[in-house]
């Protein structure tokens, strides 16, 4: 199915500098927001504590709920609306954790009904995560994202560069570097930052240009998505980590489609400048890219609107990720190949003239 003319010729590569500036602004905004707020706002999955979801029969203010529960000494950190406003639901987050969830639920219900007898309260769920469990989950989630990036480097290098052995050697060097760094007790976030820098450096020196393009695009997508969550003050939970891993897979799939066409056209139009080859490849895959993006967005937007509060943030992350992932496949991953060519100072798309 094609709803775009096959001979379309949009100058994507010609506008890459404008796109780079836009991406840098978004990334800088994300990093500044995360720095000011001291990192992502972790939910109880990662920070530990207790979460109570309460539904009222009538309208009530969050401060009134806080005042009523003050006598229970839960260490309430926040009370925020949940779902639609007319449903009068709230999520109550407390720093303290308790194993007696059933008694806590009945205690919260009784306390609220005592304070506001005409406003019937219903405790819909209670969740508790210990601080050590939350820390372990946070570290495992970060390691899961790092592992995904690592295997992507190996796959892209072997798939497009036909350098399976080189990519395996790079992965081994990366594991060795991380093993040495972990001996110094470095935290997981800094460990991942070091791993990313080592990966990009090895990709450059081992001439794995497709791997570098894919990794830069994926980092771009994840940082911007995390930055949007920081700017909107949304919490990071296990479903959001699942959404980020889904975004990585989606963005990679889109990037692979474009890279595959670039590789084919590099052989077919080897006498043309590399910029024209990349731009032609993007235009030829544009119809498939837009169809995939639009059909995915239809489903994700439906989840966002109709899925309810439980998966609201998950769907929101996917919406941001799908849009940014499609953008990065065109304006980040592909132009990185041109930057690579210029850095190597070696024409890739043209053959050297034969000597007579």
Which position has the token pair 């899961």? Answer: 144
- Report d(CA 240, CA 51) in Å as an integer: 17
pTM score, whole prediction: 0.78
What value does the mean pLDDT take over residues 154-162?
69
3-state secondary structure of 111: helix
pLDDT in tens, 174-186: 777 667 766 776 6
The pLDDT assigned to 185 comes to: 65
- Residue 6 forms part of a structural domain: no
Same domain? 117 vs 143: no
Per-residue pLDDT band at 189 (split at 50, 70, 90): low
The pLDDT assigned to 39 comes to: 79
The pLDDT assigned to 182 comes to: 65
Q: How many CB atoms lie within 10 A of CB 319?
A: 19
Domain boundary at 73, 98, 123, which?
123
Count of structural domains within the chain: 2
What value does the mean pLDDT take over residues 65-79?
77
Continuous H helices in the chain: 16-36, 44-47, 62-69, 101-115, 131-160, 164-182, 188-205, 209-231, 238-268, 274-284, 286-306, 312-328, 334-344
The pLDDT assigned to 324 comes to: 93
- Going by the DSSP 8-state scheme, the letter that residue 240 receives in this structure is H
- Report d(CA 163, CA 206) in Å as an integer: 10
Same domain? 164 vs 191: yes
- Going by the DSSP 8-state scheme, the letter that residue 187 receives in this structure is -
The pLDDT assigned to 352 comes to: 46
Decide if 16 contacts 338 (C-beta within 8 A): yes
The pLDDT assigned to 181 comes to: 65
Residue 21 has pLDDT above 60, yes or no: yes
Backbone phi, then psi, for 82, in 5-degree steps?
-135, 130
The range of the structural domain enclosing residue 56 comes to 49-123
Say which CATH number the domain at 67 has: 3.30.70.100
Out of 70-84, 134-148, 265-279, pick the least confident. 134-148
β-pairing verdict for 76-82 and 49-56:
unpaired
- Residue 354 forms part of a structural domain: no
Say which CATH number the domain at 232 has: 1.20.1640.10
The pLDDT assigned to 273 comes to: 85
Decide if 211 contacts 19 (C-beta within 8 A): no
β-pairing verdict for 49-56 and 121-129:
antiparallel
Same domain? 170 vs 230: yes
3-state secondary structure of 3: coil
- Residue 349 forms part of a structural domain: no
pLDDT in tens, 96-130: 666 555 577 778 888 887 888 778 888 888 777 76
- Residue 137 forms part of a structural domain: yes
What value does the mean pLDDT take over residues 54-69?
83
Decide if 134 contacts 127 (C-beta within 8 A): no
The pLDDT assigned to 299 comes to: 92
Decide if 148 contacts 247 (C-beta within 8 A): no
Cβ neighbors of 129 (< 8 A, separation 6 or more) are 44, 45, 48, 49, 97, 137
Per the structure block, which two tokens stand in for 330?
């065109």
The pLDDT assigned to 300 comes to: 93
Mean pLDDT of the chain: 79
Half-sphere exposure for 346 (CA within 13 Å, toward CB): 5
Same domain? 141 vs 207: yes
Per the structure block, which two tokens stand in for 65?
């709920």
The pLDDT assigned to 355 comes to: 46
- Report d(CA 242, CA 249) in Å as an integer: 11
- Going by the DSSP 8-state scheme, the letter that residue 320 receives in this structure is H
List the end-to-end C-alpha distance of the chain, in Å, as a whole number. Answer: 48
Which position has the token pair 């911007």? Answer: 224
Which position has the token pair 């990065």? Answer: 328
Of 4, 49, 12, 56, nearest to 258 (Cα)?
12
Backbone phi, then psi, for 121, in 5-degree steps?
-110, 140
pLDDT in tens, 1-18: 556 666 777 888 888 889
Same domain? 295 vs 149: yes
pLDDT in tens, 238-248: 888 888 888 88
- Conformation bin of residue 83: beta by default, left when phi > 0, alpha when psi is -120 to 50: left
Per the structure block, which two tokens stand in for 58?
């009538």
Same domain? 244 vs 271: yes
What value does the mean pLDDT take over residues 132-156?
70
Same domain? 33 vs 78: no
Per-residue pLDDT band at 131 (split at 50, 70, 90): low
User: To 10 degrees, the CA torsion angle through 229, 231, 235, 238?
Assistant: 20
């Amino acid at each position: 199915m094609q709803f775009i003319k096959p001979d379309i010729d949009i100058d994507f590569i010609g506008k890459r500098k404008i796109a780079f500036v836009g991406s840098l602004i978004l990334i800088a905004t994300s990093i500044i927001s995360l720095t000011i707020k001291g990192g992502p706002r972790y939910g109880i999955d990662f920070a530990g504590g207790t979460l109570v979801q309460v539904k009222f029969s009538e309208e009530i203010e969050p401060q009134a709920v806080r005042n009523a529960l003050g006598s229970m000494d839960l260490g309430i950190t926040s009370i925020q609306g949940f779902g639609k406003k007319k449903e009068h639901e709230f999520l109550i987050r407390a720093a303290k954790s308790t194993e007696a969830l059933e008694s806590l639920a009945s205690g919260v219900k009784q306390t609220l009904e005592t304070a506001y007898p005409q406003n019937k309260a219903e405790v819909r769920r209670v969740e508790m995560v210990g601080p050590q469990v939350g820390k372990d989950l946070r570290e495992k989630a970060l390691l899961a994202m790092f592992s995904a990036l690592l295997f992507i480097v190996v796959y892209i290098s072997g798939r497009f560069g036909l350098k399976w052995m080189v990519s395996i050697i790079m992965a081994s060097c990366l594991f060795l570097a991380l093993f040495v760094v972990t001996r110094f007790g470095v935290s997981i976030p800094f460990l991942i930052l070091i791993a990313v820098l080592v990966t990009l450096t090895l990709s450059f020196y081992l001439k794995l240009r497709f791997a570098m393009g894919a990794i830069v695009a994926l980092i771009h997508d994840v940082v911007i998505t995390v930055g949007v969550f920081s700017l909107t003050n949304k919490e990071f939970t296990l479903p959001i980590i699942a959404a980020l891993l889904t975004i990585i897979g989606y963005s990679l799939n889109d990037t692979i489609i474009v890279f595959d066409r670039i590789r084919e056209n590099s052989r077919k139009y080897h006498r043309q400048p590399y910029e024209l080859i990349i731009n032609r490849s993007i235009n030829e895959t544009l119809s498939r890219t837009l169809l995939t993006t639009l059909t995915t967005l239809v489903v994700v937007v439906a989840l966002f609107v109709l899925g309810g509060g439980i998966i609201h943030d998950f769907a929101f992350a996917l919406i941001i990720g799908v849009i940014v992932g499609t953008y990065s496949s065109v304006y980040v991953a592909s132009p990185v190949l041109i930057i690579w060519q210029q850095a190597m100072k070696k024409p890739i798309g043209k053959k050297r003239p034969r000597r007579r």
